[in-house]
Chains A and B, each alone.
Chain A
Amino acid sequence: MPLAIEVHNLVHKYGEVTAVNGIDLEVSEGECFGLLGPNGAGKTTTVEILEGLLEPTSGVVRVLGQTWNGDANALRQRLGIALQETTLADRLTVREIVILFRSFHDHGVDPDEVLATVALTDKKDDWVMKLSGGQKQRLAIACALVGDPDLLFLDEPTTGLDPQARRDLWEVVGNVVRRGKTCLLTTHYMEEAERLCHRVAIVDKGKVIALGTPAELIGRVGGSQVLEFGSVPEMTAEALEGLPGVREVRQVLDRWRLTVDAAHEAVPALLDRLQRSGANLTALSTHQASLDDVFVVLTGRTLRGDA
């Protein structure tokens, strides 16, 4: 498949600070690609270089087959961009803003159609200052979509939104992605990357530290689900390792933590084993292994930045 984005050994320095320290990326057409990492990892710097807003210190960047040294405006015609936290004019209506952005593009989509896509039809005559945070972000995405771009950049589209607004936005972006729009998205929410992205690059301190589909990356922590339980009397590791689908067994304080392929197979087997050993269950919980677990395994830190 042709490449929408090609980045080789990208470096960007702000004075003494190296924000991007040798990043390589390849994004195919039709793919939704995620840059996942904590604040300050170099995601936004990378995206702004790709958008032609920043000159890289060194490295090769090709967007839709072109470099930014060529006809920049012809390239911009084909890009849709939603920057991190842009406040568009307060006293223009939603529809006026979308029409303004539509007017910059030679080809594009009807503004009213885009407003329907981002579920802002009801708000089209409201001033921007009256919109909620989530509505403002959906407007930013409408402005990015109205030029019918070949490549869409979404820089932290849900940062600062409440959970419901975030879900609404995922719905909107998910629909766009499903229609096959090539998309580069940055986020520090692992859930967002898992839901929206075909492939994810985990970025930390200006470098890509892991790359793959969310499933592949999660696979690296071993198993797709994590099962945690406690019992009286306590079980031994030998008794648990033989259970079907158990990848890894680890004791954490008085609990056992099993990384398993499928909880629906492991749970009945575990209950059966406990019963035969005459042990009583004191606690049981499961959660899906996530990119957050991957980040913890790779860096020893969480995505939220706490140690």
Chain B
Amino acid sequence: MSPGTQEPPITPDAATPVPTPAVPTPPARIWSPLWELVLARLREFFREPAAIFWTYGFPTVLALALGVAFSGGTDPKAIPIAVLDGPRQAARVEVLQQDPALGVVAVSEDEARRRFQGARIVLAVGGDDEARFLFDPTNPEADATRRRVDDLLQRAAGRKDAVATRTDLVQAPGSRYIDFLIPGLIGMNVMSSSMWGIGYALVEARKRKLLKRLAATPMKRSHFVGSFLIARMVFLVTEVAAILAFAVPVFDVQFQGSILAAALLSIAGAMAFAGLGLVAASRTTSTETVSGLMNIIMLPMFVLSGVFFSASHFPDWMQTFIRPLPLTLLNDGLRAVINEGAGLGDVALPLLALTGGALLTLTVGLRWFRWT
């Protein structure tokens, strides 16, 4: 027997009902359910350090690493070439070293061949009176380097140029790798944060029975969905701002086109990916399953949709599949605006396609959605 049974029951007998005290007058303060739901979403996110890192820190670190690794513009590395052992080695080294674009080493032919294998040299010059070039024809840099070295050797031997020439360097804005990369990173971040932010959060809430508890309240379903979408807008603005606030001063990335067009593209993209997240989460009860589902959706786009390299590298027959992918639409649209100065009219097509995708996925996701 339980020890507590000896204590007097705290409930009055049903036969003698206790008079109900006057109900306290409801306070005048009214709370807006939509606003409280949005606040709850924002608070939960900003109180989670891991989420903050993956949303704001990770893209910035990635931009920094890739930007530094591929920043060809400011300080190009010297092209590594070898001058082979022989009677003319010293003289040729002296001539070629005067060109700062070349990094010259003097080695034996065996050593040079070893260095070709590791791609540590692009070209080797040997031979006696007749200069002999060794290079890999599949390396596009090699033939250009051969001509450059050939020119230097010919001039050093007394060749006179028939025409005087002058070079003006043109550095087109938006043409560097980092310029290509930043819109791709924005697109990637919009995709992953929208999908995780909606899909994972919903399944987690379902797993905890929070969805069921909310379904049992008079909360309007539209307020609940609306709070996710509004919170997503807030995150979107701060995410894009974080990447640009880093890329503009550090890498001098210039925003060429319409800010409105970029904003609308990002919003339409975020809503399309939020819709995909909603579809993935609509009936899933385990966070492992929804993570797998979302990775299946996102992984092909990470590879195909031109985040780190242009989607145009893929063969023509694949383009049919790649072009309509939402991340391809978003990345290409953002690149057109940020790098090529496109306006709203120029990106109308991807903008409409993303908006249509958002409407479709959100509708399907809501129709399939289960609260329990």
Contacts and interface: CB of A to CB of B under 8 A. Distances in A.
Contact of A81 (B4, B23, B213): B213
Given A76-B218, A77-B218, A99 B31 contact: yes
A24 interface: no
B163 interface: no
Interface in B168-218: 208-210, 212-213, 215-218
B40 A198 contact: no
Contacts of A104: 33, 217-219
Interface in B290-316: none
Nearest to B5: A288
Contact of B44 (A89, A163, A180, A214): A89
A276 interface: no
Given A79-B216, A102-B31, A32 B11 contact: yes
Nearest to A107: B26
A89 B39 CA distance: 13
B213 A86 contact: yes
Contacts of A190: 2
Contact of B40 (A53, A100, A214): A100
A179 B216 contact: no
B320 to A, nearest CB: 44
Main secondary structure of the interface of B (DSSP, over half): loop
A13 interface: no
Interface residues of B, number: 46
A239 interface: no
Contact of B33 (A89, A103, A143): A103
Contacts of B220: 73
A76 B27 contact: no
A91 B216 contact: no
A102 B209 CA distance: 19
A104 B32 CA distance: 8
A196 B10 contact: yes
B372 interface: yes
Given A53-B372, A109-B26, A290-B1, A177 B218 contact: no
Interface stretch (B12-20, B336-344, B348-356): B12-20
A100 B43 CA distance: 12
Interface string B352-372: 000000000000000000011
B346 interface: no
A110 B26 CA distance: 7
Contacts of B209: 83, 85-87
B21 A179 contact: yes
B137 interface: no
A248 B190 CA distance: 76
Q: Which 6 A-B pairs have the closest CB atoms?
A: A103-B31, A180-B20, A198-B14, A174-B10, A76-B218, A91-B47
Given A53-B215, A179-B21, A190-B2, 18 more contacts: A73-B220, A76-B218, A86-B208, A87-B208, A88-B208, A89-B210, A91-B47, A92-B44, A103-B31, A103-B33, A104-B219, A107-B26, A174-B10, A191-B2, A191-B4, A288-B6, A290-B2, A290-B5
